[in-house]
Chains A and B, each alone.
Chain A
Amino acid sequence: MSWVTVIWSMIAAACLTLASIHLLAWFKKRAAWSNLLFSLLAVATAALAAFEFWMMRAETPEQFSLALRWLHVPAWAVVVSLIFFVHLRLRAGRTWLAWTIVIVRTLSLLLNFLVGQNLNYLEVTGLRHIPFLGESVSVADGVSNPWMLVGQLGLVLTVVFVADAAAAAWRRGDRRLALVVGGSTLFFILATTVQAVLVLWQVIPSPLTTGFFYMGIVGVMGYEITREALRAAQLSDDLRDSETRIALAADSANVGFWSWDFDTGLFWATAKVLELYGFSPDEKMTYDKFLGVVHPDDRARVDYAARQAFQGVEDFREEHRIVLPDHSIRWISIRAKAYSKPSGEPHRMLGVSLDITQRRQNESEMVELRLELAHLARVLAISELSTSLAHEINQPLGAILNNAEAAKLLLSRDKDRQETIGEILEDIIQDTQRAGNIVRKIRGMAKKSEAHFEPLPVDPLIKDVLKLVNSNLSMNNITLQLDLKPDLADVRGDRVRLQQVLMNLIANAIYAMNNTPSRTLTVRSAMEAPDIVTVSVSDSGMGIDKANQEAVFRPFFTTKKDGLGFGLSICRSIIEEHGGRIWGENNPTGGATFSFSLKAWKS
C-alpha cells in the first residue's frame, strides 16, 4: 500500500469515527446542534478526501473531471456546516453573511454541474503524472473555468465571516475560543484556498490536498467540542460531590430529601425519608403509600395542601402526624416546592421532611404548664382576695360586736328601755356573728391547696418560665440577660408556685419597661449563704416610687391601670409559705430588682 492510500484512508476513517461519536451525542441530546453540525463537517471532510483520492488515481482526463465535479458536493457541505458550527460555537457572526455564503456556494455548486466539466475546468485536456509522497499521482492540464471565481468568492466571504465572528468573540472576552475556533478555521481555509489557486492555475505541480487541510479543522473543532464534554463530566462530578455533602449534612440534621414525579407518582427519597416515614430501606415509596401512613385526622388536610401546591397556589408546608408500624405517633414537618412543565402542567415536587416530634412534645408540655399556672393564679388570687376581705371585714365586725355587747350590758341597768333596745342589740350581735361565720366559711372555701415541697433545681425552673415569656419579651423588644450561677444547691419548693412567683415578677418587669427606651431584663441566681439560694429579676424600667416601697407587697396595691393589686401580694404569700423572703429595691443605675431567697433542700 502506498502512502497516499494510507494517509487519505486514515483521514476518512478518523473523520467518520469522530462524526459517529458526535452524531450519537446529538441523538442523546437533541438541543446540542453543534454536535450535529460537527458530524456533518466530519462526514463531508471524509467524502472530500475520498474524491481527492479518486482524482489522484484518475487514469483518464474524464475520470479526473468527474471526480472533481463530485468533489464539490462535500466541499459545499463542509463550508455550510463549518459556517454554522462557527456561528454556534463562537455565539457570534452575522447571520445574513452566513446565508449569503450559503447562497453563493450553492450557486457555485449549480455552475459546477452546468458549465464546463466542473467548476474548475471548462475542459481537462490531459493528465500528467507527477511524484507525490514517493509515488506517481495524476494532476490535470486544461482550460480553466472563469466561473471558478464564484467559488473563490464564497471562500473569501467565509474568511470574512469567520474573522468577524472571531473578532466579536475576542472583544466579548472569549479570547481562547476566538483563537482556537476562529484562528484555526481561518488558517486552514486560507491554506486550502491558496493551495487550490496555485494548483489549479498550475503554478506548482501538486495534487489538491483540501481534505488534508479540512482534516485540520475537524481535528481542532473535535478537540474543542470534546473539551466541552470533559468539562461537563467534571461539573457532574462536582455536582455529585456537592449532592453527597448536602445529603450528609441533611442526614446529620435529621432532614430527609425527596422528589416526587407527578406523572409516575413515584418518589425518589433519601434513606432518612424512608426511616422517618417508617418504610423499609429498599421500599419503593409512592404518594398513596405516603398518604397511607399519615394520621387519619391529618390526611385530608395534607392531601389538599399537596394538590394545592401542584396547582401552583402556594408552597407545600405542613406539619402532620404519621402512624408508625408500632402504632406510635411521629410529628413531621414538610416543606416542598412544586415545579411545572413549560406547558404549565404539574411536573414534580422537591421537598424536605423533618422529625419535629420532640418540638411538638415540648410545645404541648408548655401549654400544660401555662394552663397549670393560669389555674393556680386564679386560685391564689381568690385565696388572697378572701384573706384580705376577711381581715378588712372582721375588723369592723369585731368592733360592732364589742360595742353591741357593751351597750347591752350598760342597758341592763336601765329597766325601762331594756326590752326593745335589748332585742335590737341582741339582733345586732347575732347578725355580726353570722357575718363573721360567713367570712370564715368563704375563707375555708377559698383555702388554697397545700403546697407540695420537693428538692428543686433553680436553673430549669427559671428556664421553663423564660420559655413561656420569650415571645412576650421579643414582642416588647426586651433584651434578656441571664446571670445564672452554675451548680446551685436545690431549693425546698413547690415547682408550680415558684414558677408563678417568677412569672409575676417578670410580668411586672415587662410592664415597668413599657415606656423606657432601653429595655433589658436580667434574671440572676446566686448562693447568698451556704443554705440560701437567691433569685432576682431586674428591669431597666421606671423603678419603685420611694413612697410605695413598703406598700407594693400589700394586697389591692397597684400602679397598673387595670391591675387588681394581687401579684406581689401573692408572691409574698407563696415565698413566706416556703419560709423564704421576698423584697424589692431600686437599682443604682435605674429600674428595679425584685428578689426572693429560699432555703436549700436538706435531705
Chain B
Amino acid sequence: MSLPSLSFCIVDDDLSFGKSLKRLLNARGIAADYFGSAQSFLDCVPPEQPGYAIVDLHMPNCDGLGLLGKMQEMRYTMPVIIITGQAQADARDLAMQRGALGYLQKPFSGESLLELVTKYEANNSIQ
C-alpha cells in the first residue's frame, strides 16, 4: 500500500484549520477535500466513496458525533477520525464507542494522523 492512494475528507467549521490540514496532506501527495459543515459533506460526498473522514467534534448545528451517526445510518463506507480542540476523556470514549476509527486532539502532527491510518490499513489487509 502506498500513501498517495489514500484520500481524506476534512469536515471542520474552523476554516483556517481545515485549509492547513488539507495543505499538509496535499504536500505529502495525499488527496484531501475540505468541507465547512456536516451538511456540505453529506451533500457532496456519496456514501460509497472510499477514503477517510476527519471530523471536528465541536461544530454548530450538527457536531462530529452527530455526523458520525448520520454516516452510519446512511451506510457510508469511510472510517471516521474525530478531532477536537478540547481535551475531554469522556468524549474520546464516546467517539470510540460509537465506532470512530480514532480520536485526535489538536494540535496533532501529520505523522500521528497517518500512523493511525496505516495501522488500520495494515490490519485490514491482513484480514
Contacts and interface: CB of A to CB of B under 8 A. Distances in A.
Interface of A: 387, 390-403, 405-407, 409-410, 429, 432-433, 436, 440, 443
A401 B109 contact: yes
B23 A406 contact: yes
28 contacts: A387-B86, A390-B85, A391-B85, A391-B86, A392-B85, A394-B86, A395-B14, A395-B17, A395-B85, A396-B16, A398-B20, A398-B21, A398-B83, A399-B19, A400-B20, A401-B20, A401-B108, A402-B21, A403-B23, A405-B24, A406-B26, A406-B27, A407-B27, A409-B24, A409-B27, A409-B28, A440-B87, A443-B87
A433 B27 contact: no
Given A410-B27, A443-B87, A405 B109 contact: yes
B17 A402 contact: yes
A436 B104 CA distance: 13
Contacts of B108: 398, 401
B85 A402 contact: no
B28 A402 contact: no
A398 B106 contact: yes
Given A397-B107, A398-B85, A436-B106, 12 more contacts: A391-B86, A393-B85, A394-B85, A395-B14, A395-B16, A398-B106, A399-B21, A402-B20, A402-B21, A405-B27, A405-B109, A406-B27
Contacts of B77: none
Nearest to B104: A398
A393 B83 CA distance: 14
Contacts, number: 78
Contacts of A402: 17, 20-21, 23-24, 107, 110
Interface in B67-124: 83-87, 105-110
Of the four ranges (under 10, 10 to 19, 20 to 34, 35 or more), the interface on chain B belongs to 20 to 34
Contacts of B17: 395-396, 398-399, 402
| A-B complex: 10 closest residue pairs judged by Cβ atoms | A398-B106, A402-B20, A394-B85, A409-B27, A398-B107, A406-B24, A406-B27, A397-B107, A399-B20, A391-B85
Q: In terms of DSSP, what is the predominant structure of the interface of chain A?
A: helix
Contacts of B26: 406
A483 B16 CA distance: 50
B24 A403 contact: yes
Interface string B38-56: 0000000000000000000
Contacts of B14: 395, 399
A397 B109 CA distance: 11
Nearest to A392: B85
B109 A433 contact: yes
Contact of A395 (B23, B24, B106, B109): B106
Contacts of A393: 85
Given A402-B21, A402-B23, A432 B107 contact: yes
Residue with the highest number of chain A CB atoms closer than 10 Å, among B14, B16, B19: B16
B23 A394 contact: no
Contacts of B27: 405-407, 409-410
Contacts of A436: 106-107
Nearest to A387: B86
Contacts of A407: 27
B71 to A, nearest CB: 23
Contact of A401 (B28, B84, B107): B107
B44 to A, nearest CB: 22
B33 to A, nearest CB: 15
B23 to A, nearest CB: 4
B68 to A, nearest CB: 19
Contact of A394 (B21, B105, B109): B105
